[in-house]
């Protein structure tokens, strides 16, 4: 493993259900890596184990077997507070359903990860201001989530996910609840973040259009990596076509 | 089928249901006990020596009914908050509103009926044992108190079942009127309350003014008489409400702008409080009032209990006066912790009682300074005068005169003769021994025997010589009812107010569950969440607590006329406050534990 690897997954297995109950093997030995600064997509049919995989990577759930190393931390060996701290420092999250706290303003929502770290308020204001400008939500900061549109909420969520400079940004269908324009804006943003801040991005999606923004796509089938395609030097529309083709053969 | 599903939903949350059922049961039990006391005519007649007592019982009953209504309202909203998601889901799956309405109606009613039934039985049992225990502890004897009293059972059952039918109807209407979407998304965003500086200022000023009027009314109860209480109740309620409305938000939003708010979960805490407090204003107002009433009732009750002997011991100069003491009585006197003792020979003839100057010279009769002069309450100043002075002033003293009471209840006119004349004087000869003990409570048992004997040995008029002990017994009888009411209502109010608050807070738990799930995802430590919740709920408990204590401190003014000096409603309130706050803290701990259990995300395990 080189120092440039942000995620290293080896022989990852996940079985749901206790030993004496009915069990379901969602992941059956997964191997892959994500390099620093990479924009990787994960696709697969519904129920193929995408969310399960993301939960393992982000320590929201524990694997049954195998190793997960994120930015040098062996996730499977962590316990209690270590897990929470790991999530707070190394991982940025964007969920399909926004997951903003409606009792806090956009600004307070964005600042939350920094507050948890105990960042001084001046540094915090600075960081919030910066990220808000990058995502062009500076004029929304004082609003509450209830006063924002879906697309705006998702941009605020993205801001919260990156404000503390995590080593990897993960999204589980972040465009799922957005209309096509908002989805496109968000994907452009993710690309910008990926390129300007060299932040690794791991995007789970079933939508080929969203996937076409990635540099590399892993296809999961039956709890394993079925295949993998790379964008290389192609432009996005060509890559989009390639994804469609791959999905066609993949689903056969 | 739907019924089965509903049952499954209840099973999943059986612990929450148990809490709800326990709370409702307790409330019904308390109500039964009070109804038993308040409606039991035989009991009232035997004990309500003072006219005021029956008024106070009536007042207490009205309060208890009001509180019960509020209580059931909050318990019901807790029930609804637990169920609406399930029912929303059933509706989405195609269950008709009518069917859902029936289910909700039945569920609420069954729960209520079960709680009422268990509650009455529990109330019966508690009446049987606990009330007796409480009375024993207070050293009171209340005649004709029976645990089983049919009219009380009927009253309780009718009130509770009636309230639950209303609650069921309310739930039915509520569930069948609300859209499915709203039911499913119970955590709908509360509108963020906005601050209007001008309105806020006006509200604050008005609030303080109302509170001022209320506190003044309580202090001026002597002039306002019975109107003081309703006036104070209304103005303090409005005042507290306005004050909360005006200040809490400003404080919270002010805090949100500070650096402190940007550390750890503080901002989240303030955000939670911000829209909580606004929704809770009414609730917090009610709870603060209940808190005040409960604490006030207990403080006054215990004040009587502790201060009565003290007051009694300073009424006159002797604790007991014994005429012609016999050997047995002498034995009892020897057991006492005597502070002052004297024996005088009396010769009674016509309307005159003669005393021997030599005896009075040797052991002068003690006199007491009036209460105002005697600054120290615990040790009223006793003093003696020279015989010459005593012949002029002291001889008129009430205590001295009542050593010899005539058949027609008037006093013999006391005359002091020198030893020679006294020896020659004809008349019925008696001795009277006056004893003052150091501590009336300590010697209570022996004093009781002594007093009992004296009263038995003599028909009127000798038994009319009332010493401090006998005054104490009489006053205990008079104030016993009041005192008991104080304790009883105090405990009942505390139980209800704390569970009102508990249910209100727990009603918000399902919505909070998602918020904490989210915090968990972004990496908030379990401990931090625990502390955050503890603070949030702690503040919600603290606000009405503080307001309640302030209310009590002013409200006790009301009892000044009844607890005249040397008693004072403020004496020794520290320990009572401490005990009360301890009980309140237990409720806080229970609420917190339940909240943690509902809200905190569980760490994954393999
Ligand atoms: N907590 C759980 N207990 C038992 N089985 C589970 C659990 N979570 C997921 N599964 C099962 O594991 C499999 C993978 O689920 P997962 O949520 O990872 O799918 P997904 O790829 O994210 O699907 P989608 O695209 O629909 O979101 C599914 O068959 C699902 O039924
Ligand atoms: Mg999924």
Say which residues have a Cβ less than 8 Å from residue B346's Cβ, sequence separation at least 6.
B353, B354, B355, B403, B404, B429, B430, B431, B432
Mean pLDDT value of segment A234-243:
88
- Distance (Å, rounded) from C-alpha B356 to C-alpha B565? 36
pLDDT recorded at residue B558: 77
pLDDT recorded at residue A156: 92
Name which of B522, B530, B533, B602 to mutate to probe chain A: the one with the most chain A Cβ atoms within 10 A of its Cβ: B522
Burial of residue A252 (number of CB atoms within 10 Å: 0-12, 13-18, 19+): exposed
- Distance (Å, rounded) from C-alpha B120 to C-alpha B133? 19
Structure tokens of B556?
A: 């006790």
Structure tokens of A162?
A: 């990156």
For the stretch A12-64, pLDDT in tens is: 999 988 778 788 888 888 899 999 999 999 998 888 889 899 988 888 888 89
Which residue CA neighbors atom 24 of ligand 1 most closely? A46
Q: How far is the CA of A49 from the centre of ligand 2 (A)?
A: 7
Tell me the CATH number of domain A5-103+168-250, given options 3.30.930.10, 1.10.10.10, 3.40.50.300, 1.10.3720.10: 3.40.50.300
Which residue CA neighbors atom 6 of ligand 1 most closely? A16
- Distance (Å, rounded) from C-alpha B17 to C-alpha B519? 27
Contacts of A119 in chain B (CB under 8 A): 262
**Does residue B155 contact residue B119 with C-beta atoms inside 8 Å?**
no
Q: Do B523 and A60 touch (CB under 8 A)?
A: no
**Parallel, antiparallel or unpaired: strands B382-383 and B367-368:** antiparallel
Q: What Cα–Cα distance (Å) separates residue B303 from each residue in B298, B564, B569?
A: 8, 12, 6
pLDDT band at A216 (very low <50, low <70, confident <90, very high): very high
Q: How far is the CA of A222 from the centre of ligand 1 (A)?
A: 11
**Does residue B23 contact residue B499 with C-beta atoms inside 8 Å?**
yes
pLDDT recorded at residue B186: 53
- Secondary structure class of A190 (helix, strand, coil): helix
B273 → chain A, closest CA residue: A103
Radius of gyration of chain B (CA): 32
Instruction: Answer whether the bond into residue B488 is a cis peptide, omega within 30°.
Output: no
**Residue from B503, B485, B496 nearest B68 by CA:** B496
Phi-psi region of B95 (alpha: psi -120 to 50; beta: other; left: phi over 0): beta
Q: Is B265 on the interface with A (CB under 8 A)?
A: yes
Residue indicated by tokens 């409702």? B24
Q: Do B521 and A160 touch (CB under 8 A)?
A: no
Contacts of A115 in chain B (CB under 8 A): 262-267
For the stretch A160-185, pLDDT in tens is: 998 988 999 999 988 887 888 888 98
**Does residue B229 contact residue B59 with C-beta atoms inside 8 Å?**
yes
Q: Do A112 and B267 touch (CB under 8 A)?
A: yes
pLDDT recorded at residue B117: 93
The CA dihedral of B421, B426, B427, B432, to the nearest 10 degrees, is 30
- Distance (Å, rounded) from C-alpha A137 to C-alpha A152? 8
| Residue A40 bridge partners (DSSP) | A202, A216
Q: Do B267 and A115 touch (CB under 8 A)?
A: yes
pLDDT recorded at residue B130: 66
Residue indicated by tokens 């929502």? A109
pLDDT recorded at residue B374: 47
Residue indicated by tokens 């440039």? A4
pLDDT recorded at residue B53: 56
pLDDT of A2 over the 50 cut: no
Q: Which of A62, A113, A119 lies closest to B605 in CB terms?
A: A62
Q: Is B317 on the interface with A (CB under 8 A)?
A: no
Complete DSSP assignment for A46-103: TTSSHHHHHHHHTTSS--SEEEEEETTEEGGG--HHHHHHHHHHHEEEE-TT----TT
Instruction: Answer whether the bond into residue B566 is a cis peptide, omega within 30°.
Output: yes
- Distance (Å, rounded) from C-alpha A232 to C-alpha A239? 9
For the stretch B290-327, pLDDT in tens is: 788 778 877 877 777 777 777 777 777 888 888 888 88
Kindly report the backbone phi and psi dihedral angles of residue B334, in degrees, each rounded to the nearest multiple of 5, phi listed first. Answer: -65, -25
pLDDT of A186 over the 60 cut: yes
pLDDT recorded at residue B141: 61
- Distance (Å, rounded) from C-alpha B511 to C-alpha B526? 18
Say which residues have a Cβ less than 8 Å from residue B432's Cβ, sequence separation at least 6.
B321, B322, B323, B343, B344, B346, B403, B404, B465
Q: How far is the CA of A170 from the centre of ligand 2 (A)?
A: 13
What's the whole-model pTM score?
A: 0.75
Residue indicated by tokens 């604790």? B319
- The count of CB pairs under 8 A between chains A and B is 92
The CA dihedral of B501, B503, B507, B509, to the nearest 10 degrees, is 80
Residue indicated by tokens 């059922």? B21
Q: Do A115 and B604 touch (CB under 8 A)?
A: no
Chain B: closest CA distance from residue A61 (Å)? 5
Distance of CA B263 to the CA centre of its chain: 41
pLDDT recorded at residue A128: 92
Annotated domain spans of chain B? 1-189, 191-316+470-510+530-606, 320-466
3-state secondary structure labels for all residues of B546-596: HHHHHHHHHHHHHHCCCCCCCCCCCCCHHHHHHHHHHHHHHHHHHHHHHHH
Question: In this predicted model, which residue has the larger pLDDT, A97 or B248?
Answer: B248
The interface residues of chain A toward chain B in range 179-238, judged by CB-CB distance below 8 A, are none
B514 → chain A, closest CA residue: A99
Q: Is A83 on the interface with B (CB under 8 A)?
A: yes
Q: Do A85 and B523 touch (CB under 8 A)?
A: yes
- Distance (Å, rounded) from C-alpha B126 to C-alpha B130? 5
Q: Is B255 on the interface with A (CB under 8 A)?
A: no
**Does residue A196 contact residue A3 with C-beta atoms inside 8 Å?**
no
| Residue A218 bridge partners (DSSP) | A42, A228
pLDDT recorded at residue B227: 78
Q: How far is the CA of B183 from the centre of ligand 1 (A)?
A: 26
**Residue from B104, B209, B120, B216 nearest B161 by CA:** B120
| Residue B349 bridge partners (DSSP) | B352
Task: Give me the residues of chain B with pLDDT under 50, please.
Answer: 49-50, 188-189, 372, 374-376
Neighbours of B213 (CB within 10 A): 17
Q: Do A145 and B189 touch (CB under 8 A)?
A: yes
Annotated domain spans of chain A? 5-103+168-250
- Distance (Å, rounded) from C-alpha B216 to C-alpha B211? 8
Contacts of A160 in chain B (CB under 8 A): 522
Q: Which of A86, A102, A145 lies closest to B523 in CB terms?
A: A86
Which residue CA neighbors atom 4 of ligand 1 most closely? A16
pLDDT recorded at residue B460: 64
The atom number, within ligand 1, closest to the CA of A48 reads 21
Alpha helices in chain A (DSSP H): 50-57, 80-90, 106-117, 121-134, 150-162, 180-196, 208-211, 236-250
Distance of CA A119 to the CA centre of its chain: 24
- Distance (Å, rounded) from C-alpha B163 to C-alpha B72? 8
Q: Do A116 and B518 touch (CB under 8 A)?
A: no
pLDDT recorded at residue A1: 43
């Amino acid at each position: 493993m080189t120092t440039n690897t942000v995620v290293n997954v080896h022989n990852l297995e996940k079985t749901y259900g206790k030993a004496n109950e009915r069990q379901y093997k969602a992941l059956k030995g997964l191997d892959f890596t994500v390099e620093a600064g990479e924009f990787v997509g994960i696709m697969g049919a519904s129920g193929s184990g995408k969310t399960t995989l993301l939960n393992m990577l982000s320590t929201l759930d524990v694997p049954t077997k195998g190793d997960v190393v994120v930015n040098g931390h062996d996730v499977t060996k962590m316990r209690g507070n270590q897990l929470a701290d790991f999530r707070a420092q190394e991982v940025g999250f964007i969920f399909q359903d926004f997951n903003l706290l409606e009792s806090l303003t956009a600004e307070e929502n964005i600042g939350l990860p920094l507050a948890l770290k105990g960042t001084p308020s001046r540094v915090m204001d600075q960081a919030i201001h910066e990220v808000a400008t990058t995502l062009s939500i500076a004029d929304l900061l004082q609003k509450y989530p209830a006063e924002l549109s879906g697309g705006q909420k998702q941009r605020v969520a993205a801001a919260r996910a990156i404000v503390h400079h995590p080593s990897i940004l993960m999204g589980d269908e972040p465009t799922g609840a957005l209309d096509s324009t908002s989805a496109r804006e968000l994907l452009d943003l993710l690309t910008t973040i990926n390129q300007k801040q060299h932040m690794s991005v791991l995007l789970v999606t079933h939508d080929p259009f969203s996937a076409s923004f990635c540099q590399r796509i892993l296809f999961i089938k039956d709890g394993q990596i079925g295949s993998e395609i790379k964008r290389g030097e192609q432009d996005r529309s060509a890559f989009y076509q390639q994804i469609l083709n791959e999905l066609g053969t993949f689903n056969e | 089928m739907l019924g089965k599903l509903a049952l499954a939903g209840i099973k999943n949350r059986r612990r929450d249901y148990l809490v709800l059922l326990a709370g409702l049961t307790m409330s019904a039990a308390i109500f039964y006990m009070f109804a038993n006391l308040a409606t039991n005519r035989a009991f009232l007649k035997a004990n309500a020596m003072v006219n005021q007592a029956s008024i106070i019982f009536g007042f207490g009953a009205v309060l208890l009914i009001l509180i019960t209504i509020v209580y059931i309202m909050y318990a019901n909203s807790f029930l609804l908050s637990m169920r609406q998601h399930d029912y929303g889901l059933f509706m989405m799956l195609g269950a008709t509103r009518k069917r859902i309405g029936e289910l909700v109606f039945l569920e609420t009613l069954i729960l209520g009926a079960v709680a009422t039934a268990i509650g009455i039985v529990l109330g019966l049992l508690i009446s049987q044992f606990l009330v007796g225990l409480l009375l024993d502890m207070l050293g009171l004897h209340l005649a004709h108190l029976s645990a089983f009293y049919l009219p009380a059972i009927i009253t309780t059952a009718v009130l509770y079942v009636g309230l639950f039918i209303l609650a069921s109807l309310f739930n039915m209407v509520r569930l069948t009127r609300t859209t499915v979407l709203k039911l499913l998304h119970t955590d709908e965003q509360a509108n963020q309350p906005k601050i209007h500086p001008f309105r806020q200022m006006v509200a604050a000023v008005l609030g303080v003014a109302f509170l001022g009027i209320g506190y003044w009314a309580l202090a001026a109860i002597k002039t306002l008489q019975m109107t003081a209480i309703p006036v104070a109740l209304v103005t303090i309620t409005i005042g507290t409400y306005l004050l909360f409305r005006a200040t809490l938000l400003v404080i919270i939003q002010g805090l949100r702008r500070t650096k402190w708010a940007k550390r750890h979960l503080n901002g989240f805490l303030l955000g939670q409080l911000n829209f909580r407090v606004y929704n809770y204003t009414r609730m917090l107002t009610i709870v603060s009032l209940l808190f005040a009433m409960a604490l006030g009732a207990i403080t006054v009750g215990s004040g009587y209990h502790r201060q009565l002997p003290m007051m009694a011991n300073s009424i006159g100069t002797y604790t007991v006066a014994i005429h012609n003491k016999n050997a047995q009585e002498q034995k009892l006197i020897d057991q006492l912790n005597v502070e002052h003792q004297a024996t005088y020979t009396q010769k009674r003839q016509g309307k005159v009682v003669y005393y021997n100057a030599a005896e009075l010279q040797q052991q002068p009769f003690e006199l007491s300074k009036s209460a105002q002069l005697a600054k120290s309450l615990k040790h009223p100043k006793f003093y003696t005068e020279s015989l010459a002075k005593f012949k002029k002033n002291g001889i008129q003293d009430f205590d001295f005169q009542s050593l010899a009471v005539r058949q027609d209840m008037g006093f013999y006119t006391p005359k002091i003769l020198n030893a020679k004349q006294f020896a020659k004087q004809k008349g019925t000869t008696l001795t009277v021994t006056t004893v003052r003990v150091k501590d009336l409570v300590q010697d209570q048992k022996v004093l009781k025997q002594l007093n009992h004997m004296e009263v038995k040995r003599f028909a009127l008029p000798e038994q009319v010589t009332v010493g401090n002990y006998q005054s104490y017994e009489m006053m205990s009888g008079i104030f016993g009812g009041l005192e008991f009411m104080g304790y009883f209502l105090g405990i009942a109010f505390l139980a209800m107010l704390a569970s009102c608050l508990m249910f209100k807070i727990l009603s918000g738990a399902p919505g909070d569950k998602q918020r904490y799930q989210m915090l968990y995802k972004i990496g908030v430590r379990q401990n931090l969440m625990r502390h955050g919740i503890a603070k949030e709920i702690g503040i919600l408990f603290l606000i009405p607590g503080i307001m309640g204590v302030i209310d009590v401190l002013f409200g006790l003014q009301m009892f000044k006329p009844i607890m005249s000096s040397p008693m004072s409603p403020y004496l020794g309130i520290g320990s009572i406050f401490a005990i009360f706050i301890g009980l309140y803290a237990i409720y806080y701990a229970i609420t917190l534990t339940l909240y943690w259990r509902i809200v905190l995300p569980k760490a994954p395990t393999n």
